[in-house]
Amino acid sequence: MKKQLLFLFFLLTAVTALNAQHTKSPQKKYTTTIGPSFKSKKIVLLVPSFLPGIMKDSSASLRNDTLVYDLNGQLFDNGYKLFPGKGSVSLSTPWQTLMEMTDAYSKKDTNRIIALYAADSKEKIKAILSGNQAGDFLDYVSKASHANLTLLGGIHYKNGFMAYTKDDVYGLHENFIIKENNKYKLAALDDKSPTGWNIAIYFKDDPKPMVPLKNISLPDSLQIDDSATVKITLPEAGRWVAIYLGNPGESVSLNVQDNGMNDYDPMEKQVALHLKGGIFIAPGTYTFYISSFNYLVRKISKDFFSDDAKHTITIY
Amino acid sequence: MKKLFLTLSAIILFFSIGYTQAPNMSDGHTPDPGPPPVKKPDSCKLTGFRLPCCTDTIENVSSIATVTFDKTPCTATFNPATISPSGFVGNSVQSVTACAGGVCITRSINVVNTNKSLGFTPISLDFSKIGNTVDRALDAIFGSGGTGCSKSGSLKPSGSLGYDWSYMCCPTLTPCVKNSHKFSGSVSWNFGVTCHFPVAGCPYVASLDAVVSAGISGGFSVNAQTGCAATKVCAGANLKVSLGGGIGATVLAGAVSASLQLVISASASAQVCVYPLPVTGTYSFNIGQVSIVGSVETLWGLTSHSVDYVIYDGKNFGPYPF
Record the pTM: 0.70
Range(s) of the domain holding residue B83: 42-116
Residues B144, B100 share a domain: no
Same domain? For A169 and A264 the reply is: no
Output the CA–CA distances (angstroms, integers) from residue A16 to A20, A21, A88, B288, in the order listed.
6, 9, 21, 73
A75 and A198 assigned to the same domain: yes
Q: What is the mean pLDDT of residues B97-106?
A: 94
A33 — phi, psi (to 5°)?
A: -125, 140
Q: What is the pLDDT of residue B125?
A: 77
Task: Assess whether B263 and B153 both reside in one domain.
Answer: yes
* Residue of B220, B214, B239 lying closest to B158 (CA atoms): B220
Residue A147 has a pLDDT of 95
Residue B302 is assigned to a structural domain of this protein: yes
Angle at A14 between CA A10 and CA A15, to 5 degrees: 120
Same domain, A194 and A68: yes
Query: A50 and A74: one domain?
Result: yes
Residues of A in contact with B309 (CB under 8 A): 53-56
| In-domain check, residue A241 | yes
B66 and B191 both lie in a single domain: no
Beta carbons of B306 and A261 less than 8 Å apart: no
Predicted local distance difference test score (pLDDT) of residue B21? 41
Chain A: closest CA distance from residue B230 (Å) = 31
A244/B93 Cα distance (integer angstroms): 67
Report yes or no: B312 at the A interface, CB cutoff 8 Å.
yes
Residue B99 lies in a domain: yes
Which residues in chain B are contacts of A281 at CB distance < 8 A?
133, 136-137, 140, 317
Q: How many helices (H) and strands (E) does chain B have?
A: 3, 17
B309 touches chain A (CB under 8 A): yes
Element (H, E) at B12: helix B2-21
Instruction: Give the separation between CA A149 and CA A84, rounded to whole angstroms.
Output: 9
CB contacts of A135 in chain B (<8 Å) are none
Answer for the pair B311, B212: CB distance below 8 angstroms, yes or no: no
CA-closest candidate to residue A173, choices B270, B17, B232, B204: B204
Least confident of B27-31, B47-51, B262-266: B27-31
Identify which of A203, A251, A254 has the shortest CB distance to residue B141.
Answer: A251
Choosing from A167, A189, A205, the residue where a domain stops is A205
10 Å CB burial of residue A41 (0-12, 13-18, 19+) is: exposed
A15 is a domain residue: no
Boundary residue ending a domain (B56, B88, B116): B116
Query: A298–B317: do the CB atoms touch at under 8 Å?
Result: no
Angle between helices A119-130 and A134-145 (to 10 degrees): 110
How crowded is residue B180: how many other Cβ atoms within 10 Å of its Cβ?
22
Q: How far apart are CA B143 and CA A299, in angstroms?
A: 10
What is the number of residues in chain A? 316
3-state SS class at B285: strand
Selected residue of A281, A293, A295, A299 to mutate for chain B interface (largest B Cβ count, 10 A): A281
Per-residue pLDDT, B3: 52
Number of residues that this document lists for chain B? 322
d(CA B213, CA B242): 8
- Domain assignment of residue A10, yes or no: no
Banded pLDDT at B168 (limits 50, 70, 90):
very high
A24 within a domain of the structure (yes/no): no
Do A123 and A246 lie in one domain? The reply is no
Domain boundary among A185, A205, A225: A205
Q: Which of A139, A247, A298 sits opposite B143 (nearest CB)?
A: A298
At B53, the pLDDT band (50, 70, 90 cuts) reads very high
For residue B179, is it within any domain?
Answer: no
Strands A221-222 and A310-315: parallel
Same domain assignment for residues A147 and A282: no
Final residue belonging to a domain, choices A205, A223, A257: A205
- For residues B211 and B309, membership in a common domain is answered with yes
- Are both A42 and A80 inside the same structural domain? yes
> How far is Cα A71 from Cα A203, in angstroms, rounded to an integer?
14
Preceding amide of B36 cis, omega within 30: no
Q: Is pLDDT above 60 for B17?
A: no
**Tell me, what's the pLDDT at A105?**
96
pLDDT at A196: 94
B95 in the same domain as B59: yes
Judge whether B168 lies within some domain.
no
* Shared-domain flag, residues B199 and B249: yes
Tell me what ipTM this predicted complex has: 0.78
Domain, as residue range, for A274? 211-315
What is the pLDDT at residue A16? 42
One domain for residues A151 and A97 = yes
For residue B170, being part of any structural domain is answered with no
Q: Is the pLDDT of residue B13 over 70?
A: no
DSSP state of A251: B
Write down the pLDDT at residue B62: 93
**Is residue B190 assigned to a domain?**
yes
B264 and B293 within one domain:
yes
Of all residues in chain A, what percent carry a pLDDT higher than 70? 89
- Residue B72, SS3? coil
Distance of CA A146 to the CA centre of its chain: 16
In the three-class reduction of DSSP (H, G, I as helix; E, B as strand; rest coil), residue A172 is classed as strand
**Among B62, B93, B116, residue at a domain's last position:** B116
Whole-angstrom distance, CA of residue A177 vs CA of residue A187: 5
Please, which residues 132-161 of chain B have a Cβ atom closer than 8 Å to chain A? 133, 136-137, 139-145
Instruction: Give domain status of residue A270, yes or no.
Output: yes
Q: Are residues B267 and B306 in the same domain?
A: yes
* CA–CA gap between residue B214 and residue B206 (Å, rounded): 25
Give the total number of structural domains in chain A.
Answer: 2
* Per-residue model confidence (pLDDT) at position A23: 38
Verify that B102 and B216 share a domain, yes or no: no
Q: What is the pLDDT of residue A118?
A: 97
Please report whether residue A170 resides in a domain: yes
SS3 A143: helix
**How many domains are contained in chain B?**
2
pLDDT at B57: 93
Q: Please indicate, yes or no, whether residues A124 and A155 belong to a single structural domain of this protein.
A: yes
For residues B77 and B140, state if they share a domain: no
pLDDT band at A120 (very low <50, low <70, confident <90, very high): very high
pLDDT in tens, A123-170: 999 999 999 999 999 999 999 999 999 999 999 999 999 999 999 999
Whether residue A193 is contained in a domain is answered as yes
Angle at CA of residue A165, ends A160 and A166, nearest 5°: 160
Lowest-pLDDT choice from A16-20, A83-87, B32-36, B299-303: A16-20
Task: Please state, in angstroms and rounded to a whole number, the distance separating the CA atoms of residues B167 and B175.
Answer: 12
Asked if pLDDT for residue A92 goes beyond 80, the answer is yes
pLDDT of residue A135: 94
Nearest-CA distance A272 → chain B (Å): 14
d(CA B210, CA B197): 5
- pLDDT for B32 equals 55
B263 in the same domain as B132? yes
Rounded mean pLDDT, A183-210: 94
User: What mean pLDDT, rounded, does chain B reach?
Assistant: 80
Same domain membership, residue B86 and residue B189 = no
Nearest to B163 by CA among B274, B268, B263, B68: B274
Mean pLDDT score across all residues of chain A: 88
Between CA A195 and CA B311, with CA A60 as vertex, the angle to 5 degrees is 65
Residue B203 lies in a domain: yes
Q: Give the whole-angstrom CA distance, residue B248 versus residue A221.
A: 40
Q: Which residues contact A304 (CB under 8 A, 6 or more apart)?
A: A210, A242, A244, A248, A289, A291, A297
In terms of domains, do A141 and A283 share one?
Answer: no
**pLDDT (tens digit, 9 = 90+) per residue, B233-246?**
888 888 887 887 77
d(CA B241, CA B288): 11
Boundary residue ending a domain (B116, B136, B166): B116
* pLDDT value of residue A32: 53
pLDDT at B252 over 50: yes
Same domain assignment for residues A197 and A55: yes
Test A53 with B317 for CB contact under 8 angstroms.
no
Confidence of residue A249 (pLDDT cuts 50, 70, 90): confident
The CATH code of the domain that includes A284 is 2.60.40
Q: Give the CATH number of the domain where residue B62 resides.
A: 2.60.40
Q: How buried is residue A39: exposed, middle or buried, by Cβ count under 10 Å (0-12/13-18/19+)?
A: exposed
- pLDDT over threshold 80, residue B128: no
Among A35, A168, A29, which residue's Cα sits nearest to residue A107? A29
Bridge partners (DSSP) of residue A275 are A228
Residue A8 lies in a domain: no
What are the angstrom distances between the C-alpha of A59 and each of A62, A198, B276? 10, 11, 60
Number of Cβ pairs closer than 8 Å across A and B?
Answer: 128
CB under 8 Å to B212, separation ≥6 — which residues?
B138, B142, B194, B195, B196, B197, B243, B244, B245, B262, B264
Alpha-carbon distance of B210 to B248, in angstroms, equals 8
Domain co-membership, A169 together with A232? no
Task: Answer yes or no: are the C-beta atoms of B42 and B102 closer than 8 Å.
Answer: yes
